[in-house]
Structure 1
Amino acid sequence: MTQTKRFLVYVASNHAGLESERYEVTRQLARMGILTCGFPCREDTSPYDWNLARSQIEDADLFLMILGDEYGPMAPTGISYLHREFVHAQSLSKPVLSFIKNSLPSPVQTDSHRRLAGFHNVISKASCRLWHLREELVSHVKTAVVNALSNKSGGWQKLEATDLVQIEVESNEAPLKVDNKQWLQQSRQLIRLQLSAKVYEAGNNTLEEISVSLRWDAIFACAARLMSSPASEEKIRAALEELAQEEVKGRLLKKHPLAHAIDDIRINRAQFTELVKQWLQHGLVVNKSVSGRDAWKLSAQGITRLISISAQKAT
């Protein structure tokens, strides 16, 4: 049976004042056979989950932002969470559609109003449409999304039930045998992690490349603690990025003394793939397929090595 691919759209908005508009937009997208993800930025619930938002933006085929009368809750970077999502989507070079509410200027200009006006200026440099009434917004969204996705490849496809079962992928290559002496030597090797980070300075953000030297055993132990059950690439990468975070921020703030934030620290994708390949070759992890996506779990050998690393730290 032929399965139809459906596009995934990340819908970004603040919560305050846009509840009904967001509902109507997501309903219109559903009518068009489009899947949606994302959650409104709000201050009255649990803390904002940037890692979740970032991963959803990266998974989506298109980023759609609805901007109302509020700049929105602020992120530690000095910009709103919504602004942060917009910047990240742009950095991925994926289609970005913005819809700005055409409101009368406030007679009293607060700091929030000035930030909102500045955000308008940033958005206006890309693809954006003004809206006033909810019906007008929905009409603009329908037209813009059709145009943006008309010639786009990609999309998502429903998995068969058998694909939802966790399947352990057996490697064709036998694990490399490493004796304790070799293991000790390897575990003490320094690995230069290649990372990138966004530096926020004077209202702008720039992408900086940086390398951080960490011991092989520290890197493996950091990842291994997540792999008692199958862990996704996203989860493992986030842990390694957090491991390097303090040094990355310290060095970049020293290089950019006027910067007010360092954010979005990411490990080089090719290097992460190489690390996982090494772990597989040494029989430390096994590859799993969970809901059609790669994940990794510690093998018996990996558990033994993790215990060994922990014991060395304790002595």
Structure 2
Amino acid sequence: MDRRYQVFISSTYMDLVEERREVIQALLEMDCVPAGMEMFPAANDDQWTLIQQVIDESDYYVVIVGGRYGSMAPDGISYTEKEYDYAVSTGKPVLGFVHANPGQLPLNKSQPAAQAELDAFTAKVKSRLVKSYGSPAELGSAVSRSLIMTMKKNPAEGWVRGQFAMTPEVQAEMAELRAKLSQMELQASTKSSAIIPPDLESGEDVYPMEVVLEYKTSHEIRREETSYDLAPIRIANTNVPASWNDIFGELGPRMFDEINERAMSRALGAYVQRLLLGSRNDLLPSGFAYAETVSISQESFDDIAIQLFALNLITHGVKSRDARDTAKYWMLSELGRETLMKLRAIKRTSSEASKVSQPV
């Protein structure tokens, strides 16, 4: 997996502008993400908190020491030294780079007033393994070589693109956990919701399903046959009433196994088409001759799915699926199976039943 590592660059600024530029270029060539004072806002009460946060988010820490100690915080310690101390305290891999000849630096790159503090800080940095540099270009090369070795010895977490962050292993684990959670929810709902709530519409109560009909009239079809010109498709909306028993009796047989919402919508569309072209053709628009498509509206589909779920007749699917499958699945609940058997199972007539009950 392609990773990018964030590297925090700590140093004084005005005297090391060229050096920092070389280091940033070196890091970019290594596909690393440089971080440092260039990205910070003007000094304010929250600046130190932000610095700590960026150091925490970085994988490696680079400190560059030149001829200046730098601006000091109210506690008398320079921000560069505070950054260094904090990075060390976190256990983050620290790479130190100290100028080989600080005494030869020009006056505008030195800080005589804070020489004692600089010497003490330099000694602190040199207490760990460091590299020296004599020019900006030399520093950039030294950082590249040292960072490559450090990455091998101390591999870090790094950053990955969002599309690659979800590994197949993690996807499989999440799918398994979702399946277990759904199973637990199913078991809980089966135990606590074993009846049809009496305050909700159900049974022979009628629901008006909103249907979208794309069609052509007989006049338009005759015109097509004579002129060979395609007639425009008309669109009409109508309500097709059906009882909740009829709706559930239509969907139920398809839901013994899990079914996604797209298949549910197709099944309802086929059901309302049979009604419109059969027993409820009185609801067809005037002049209707041919149906291009018949579908149930999204609002009505949502109403039906929510109502059947609220009636404890259907429940969420529990099968483990590929994480890329974002469809919502439904299946019959235990109560739904029992109810469907009562609605759809073929029963014997009373005379046939009496014959069966007689002893041979």
TM-score of the superposition, structure 1-length normalised?
0.47
Higher strand share: 1
Name the structure where helix makes up a greater proportion of residues. 2
State which structure, 1 or 2, has the greater radius of gyration over its C-alpha atoms.
2
TM-score, length-scaled by structure 2: 0.41
